[in-house]
Amino acid sequence: MKLEKSTPSMIEVEASILNSDPFYNLVVKDKEILSMEEIIAEINESLELGVERYLLKVEDEYVGIMEILMKNPNDGYTWLGLLEIKKEHQSKGYGYKALNIFYDMIKVRQVEQFRLGVICENEPGHRFWRRQGMKPVKITMKDNKDIVIYEKKI
């Protein structure tokens, strides 16, 4: 698996990944399919915060998206803002491989712990992150959604 920095020209690839999992979109955005305008707006919002956005590539196929925010302005922590694997490639170990790449990246940057958020209704997400050793630290709300904040020390 390789990381490739996302660029505006990759919007079609990103849309195919983001819209491959209607359940996730429904839980997060209250709709099964996101429009190109919504995806572009979300990417722009992330970039304004200083997020690093990567496409995950296996051989010649893009299988996922990962976002890293080195210092969240709200709490000062490093955040894994998004790790989404294309639905057809879930349960193949790609999320685990991407997470190990993320660990290597933040270790080099001398980050000792990081956070991520999972919407309460996203039970598959909670199961995945608990298996990765994430510990819940608090519950918050964003966009009228209850979110569990998880943390892990590296």
CB 140 within 8 A of CB 117: yes
Q: What is the pLDDT confidence band of residue 38, given thresholds at 50, 70 and 90?
A: very high
| Confidence check: pLDDT of 33 > 90 | yes
Q: What is the rounded distance in angstroms from the CA atom of residue 63 to the CA atom of residue 18? A: 10
Q: For 99-117, what is the mean pLDDT? A: 96
Closest-CA residue to 79 (of 44, 53, 108, 43): 53
| Greater pLDDT, 91 or 142 | 91
Q: For 115-126, what is the mean pLDDT? A: 95
Tens of pLDDT, residue by residue over 128-144, are 999 999 999 999 988 88
pLDDT of amino acid 76:
94
Helix or strand holding residue 67 (H, E): strand 61-69
Q: What percent of the chain has pLDDT over 70?
A: 100
